[in-house]
Amino acid sequence: MKQIRFVYPFEEADSTDRQLLGGKGAGLARMTQIGLPVPPGFVITTEACRQYYKAGRRLPAGLMDEARERMKQLERQTGKAFGHKTNPLLVSVRSGGALSMPGMMDTILNLGMNDEVVVGFGEATQNLRFAYDAYRRLIQAFGQIALGAEEKRFAELLEAAKKRLGAEYDFELTVEALQRLCADYKRVIQDDLGTEFPQDPWKQLELAVEAVFRSWEGKRAVDYRREFKITPQMANGTAVNICTMVFGNMGEDSATGVAFTRDPGTGENVLFGEYLVNAQGEDVVAGIRTPKPIAELKTEMPGSWEELQRIRRTLEDEYHEVQDFEFTIERGKLYMLQTRNGKMNATAFVKTSRDMVAEKVLKAEEALLRISPDHLEQLLHRRIDPTADAEPIARGLPASPGAASGVVVFDADEAERRGRTGEAVILVREETKPEDIHGFFQARGILTSRGGKTSHAAVVARGMGKPCVVGAEEIRINDRERLAVVSGRSITEGELITIDGGSGDVFLGEVPTVEPEFSEDMKTLLRWADEIRTLGVRANADTPEDAALAREMGAEGIGLCRTERMFNAADRLPIVRDMILSRTAEERRAAIDRLRPMQKADFKEIFKAMEDLPVTIRLLDPPLHEFLPSLESLLLEVAALKNLKSHLEHGNPTPQSLSRMLESAELSDLPAIERLRAEVSAARDGGLIDELLEQKESVLQKVRETAEVNPMLGHRGVRLGITYPELYRMQLGAILEAVAECVQEGVNAVCEIMVPQVTEPNELLRVGELLDEVRAEVEAQHGSRLDFKFGTMIEAVRACVRADAIAERTEFFSFGTNDLTQATFSFSREDAEQKFLPFYVENGLLPQNPFEALDIPGVGRLMKLAVVSGRRVKPDLKVGICGEHGGHPRSIEFCHTVGLDYVSCSSFRVPIARLAAAQAALREKRRSKEEREHADYPFNVL
Ligand code: ADP
Ligand code: MG
Ligand code: MG
């Protein structure tokens, strides 16, 4: 068997193979090969690391022979010799896996020094101080990393040395002090570990290579990979980079720094970074001295500045991406020590994408693929002003983006009370529950000290588009005392705080925020995205205002307009209740007749706002009891009224005592309370109490009648529409009249009527008959033919299975994946997210929360079944999705692959969906047919 090669010099390695060379090794190889000044060196592959572990932590046979051979080559290249007393070759031994894991693994600098070399090196460089400084750094790093000594032991000695000299900084240490430190360091190793700091450079090299391999399985690195979900497919083992040392600490003409090819904060096309004169690489990160902004290099070392300007162009031309790089200047000569793709904020990603296309560094397609949809999301919300100088007092998990300031309140009732008065409040709780929902409505933001990204608070806040930080564990909340404590500082109710749901930061006081920016750069990018994508993007919008926002965000229609929102408006709810509570058919018709013009007016407004674009209106979906007060609140109210009545009759009522009773009574019917208050202040019972009691008791009875064991699986949607045909008849009439009136007014209303909860084609047949009747009436009345589409939600498992038969009765499908996900798993979202789903996700039983990211193998498979069988019957069947998943990038990619016509999501996710849809189209184009048909292809579900 041919022996595998483990070692590649920078000039020979295949720099596209990051898996084998690691990111750092690949970068060093590439820079060497395109002629950038990299100190000579070589890479030991990640394969060697894997073999090391396979062999039970033993260096693979032949590895060190290969490495020694390469070292000989390095000696020839540099004209130095490893371990030579006056002309020593010194190297760094650096870790680096396929993915960057900053600071998680180890690097040893100045390797090759020993007691003799340090003297010779000092003489050769005419700088003994410098030589001993390098040596003590080696002993310490080697001691810790390769031999396992404790950092603290070295730190103590260093402190003591500085103290003796009255020195503040390391660089003030004298030669003698450094010599003594070297001796002390070696003694620590001897005493603590019973072993000697190896004087043989070759021994040092071998131990260092092994130590770098070991750092791959070090606690820091393992934790990091778990946290960021780095799998062995993504990065498996570390490479070791052996690189000739260059010294930025050889005097005032030497320096070291890190830089970006563009400003990663603004995206501006300028060199950005920092450097330190007379320092070694690690000093910049260590924060021992404050580095200078790179612009100063222009006057301080103009030659190197010019060279960096050239290099920055070269790097971007080569990588088609902004680079983040390390450099060192040794006596005026510049060396490159590392390069990788720059991490930037959202603004910078958007700006550089547009600029780099204009500069022809990137193609538009590449520019679109390099931005993650999450980046856009950051820009679409109010953010902390980047120039604000504020220190967070705590950090939790970023659960729902956006920044908000407000006064702290510790429960939902208080949030509601203060919110109603117009005060900006932040609801702060250990965790939230469904009964806190009224507090959410009134809060500007939500902060919890417990729970993860799928906790109740997170899910609800995201749904409402409100900023939310969860799991800020440093904050201890005591809602009885109405107090929160964070690092010794207490926060009382009413104090101002600011939260940033995009970063998880929590600040005291009001921190300035900036408006979301729909910048020109972003608009340009989204225009490119629109040209590339084939998937339509619509918005879910229930009101004319929502519709206007949707249009502004680039929606091509409304994929879901929920009519129940209109029922809930303050002026409608009483009529809806009358309708539900009506005892006779006449009463019901009267209530319905009052609703009809209101609904018609709403629909007309929406059609107008969306002129020329389709509007999908869903007929009433929720069970009726949702429009009635809850059983608990009614029971409390009835009890309170009875109590009041008996106090009036048998007690000794004074206006004060009655008023007090009213204050504390659990009455939620505000207008009634006002009337009662007037009556009660006169301490008399004018019969209002009896009237209210009777009213409440009849509602109570109706609530009991409509109560269901499983309301979400009960009398709702099309089932309600079929058993109470007046209701759907009224809605259909209102919709079609709105269309007819729009036509008369010259407005192009594109109407799509959608039936919810369908499981059986016969249901559509029934509603279709109703529709035909209503249509005939409206057409006769207006003397014109009406144009619209009739379709159905697909949100029941049976609907997916019977999709072919259902398709015969409809013109379009729209997947309601929230309900479909519940139906497919047979668990309710609220219960799942409250009780067990976080555990499932944390423990890997499910890869993600299926209510956030579409469950492709389960729900996705049903969707595909429905699409395929529906289109078999009706090839031009239009299919969309209007569940929350319609705004989730990977789910959108699935929708694209499975052939949907459009996704529909909340307005503020529309830009994200536009980008995600373009990315889906681009990625599909890049995949071959075989790949797409391969069984492992995640979207290949049938
Ligand atoms: P990390 O991955 O933690 O950045 P590196 O391997 O890049 O670790 O090295 C740590 C520091 O040492 C960096 O500042 C780097 O520039 C510097 N460094 C590494 N190798 C050399 C070398 N051969 N000459 C000079 N400085 C070096
Ligand atoms: Mg580095
Ligand atoms: Mg539904």
> From the CB of 281, is ligand 1 less than 6 Å away?
yes
C-alpha span between 863 and 814 (Å, rounded): 10
pLDDT value at 281 more than 90: no
pLDDT in tens, 482-497: 999 998 899 999 999 9
Q: Where are the beta strands (DSSP E) in 219-332?
A: 238-244, 255-260, 272-277, 292-293, 323-330
Residues 243, 800, 882, 895: which is the catalytic one?
882
Q: Where are the beta strands (DSSP E) in 360-419?
A: 383-384, 394-395, 397-400, 403-409
125 C-beta neighbours (distance < 10 Å), count:
16
> From the CB of 340, is ligand 1 less than 6 Å away?
no
Q: Is residue 456 annotated as a catalytic residue, yes or no?
A: yes
> From the CB of 220, is ligand 1 less than 6 Å away?
no
pLDDT in tens, 488-532: 899 999 999 999 998 899 999 999 988 887 889 999 999 999 999
Which band of pLDDT confidence, cut at 50, 70 and 90, is reported for residue 669? Answer: low
pLDDT in tens, 296-313: 999 999 999 999 999 999
Q: How far is the CA of 272 from the centre of ligand 2 (A)?
A: 17
CA distances from 743 to 559, 782, 791 (A): 21, 10, 21
pLDDT value at 680 more than 80: no
C-alpha span between 908 and 377 (Å, rounded): 8
As given in the structure block, the two tokens for residue 706 are 């409509």
| Predicted TM-score of the model (pTM) | 0.80
Please, what is the end-to-end C-alpha distance for the chain in angstroms?
43
Q: How far is the CA of 621 from the centre of ligand 3 (A)?
A: 7
As given in the structure block, the two tokens for residue 922 are 């681009």
678 C-beta neighbours (distance < 10 Å), count:
11
What is the distance, to the nearest Å, from the Cα of residue 21 to the centroid of all Cα atoms in its chain?
A: 30
pLDDT in tens, 874-898: 999 999 999 889 999 999 999 999 9
Q: Which atom of ligand 1 is nearest to the CA of 105?
A: 3
496 pairs with which residues across the strands? 407
C-alpha span between 368 and 352 (Å, rounded): 11
- pLDDT of 532 reads 97
Query: pLDDT higher for 673 or 756?
Result: 756
C-alpha span between 228 and 343 (Å, rounded): 15
pLDDT value at 93 more than 90: yes
239 pairs with which residues across the strands? 96
pLDDT in tens, 98-155: 998 877 788 999 999 999 999 999 999 999 999 999 999 999 999 999 999 999 999 9
- pLDDT of 686 reads 66
- pLDDT of 454 reads 65
- pLDDT of 759 reads 98
pLDDT in tens, 681-719: 665 666 788 888 888 888 888 888 888 888 889 999 999
pLDDT value at 158 more than 70: yes
Query: pLDDT higher for 625 or 252?
Result: 252
Q: Give the CA angle between residues 385, 389, 390 to the nearest 5°.
A: 90
- pLDDT of 633 reads 82
272 pairs with which residues across the strands? 260
DSSP string, 712-772: GGSS-HHHHHHHSHHHHHHHHHHHHHHHHHHHHTT---EEEEEE-S--SHHHHHHHHHHHH
pLDDT in tens, 809-859: 999 999 999 999 999 999 998 889 888 998 898 888 999 999 999 999 999
pLDDT value at 1 more than 60: no
Q: Which atom of ligand 1 is nearest to the CA of 103?
A: 3
- pLDDT of 505 reads 95
Residues 456, 625, 888, 896: which is the catalytic one?
456
Average of per-residue pLDDT values in the chain: 91
> From the CB of 246, is ligand 1 less than 6 Å away?
yes
Q: Give the CA angle between residues 466, 469, 471 to the nearest 5°.
A: 145
pLDDT value at 284 more than 80: no
- Pocket test of ligand 1: the residue of 82, 337, 339, 340 to mutate, having most ligand atoms within 8 Å of its CB, is 337
pLDDT in tens, 761-816: 999 999 999 999 999 999 999 999 999 999 999 999 999 999 999 999 999 999 99
Q: How far is the CA of 340 from the centre of ligand 2 (A)?
A: 9
pLDDT value at 678 more than 90: no
C-alpha span between 932 and 313 (Å, rounded): 37
- pLDDT of 144 reads 95
Neighbours of ion ligand 3 (CB under 5 A): 795, 816, 819
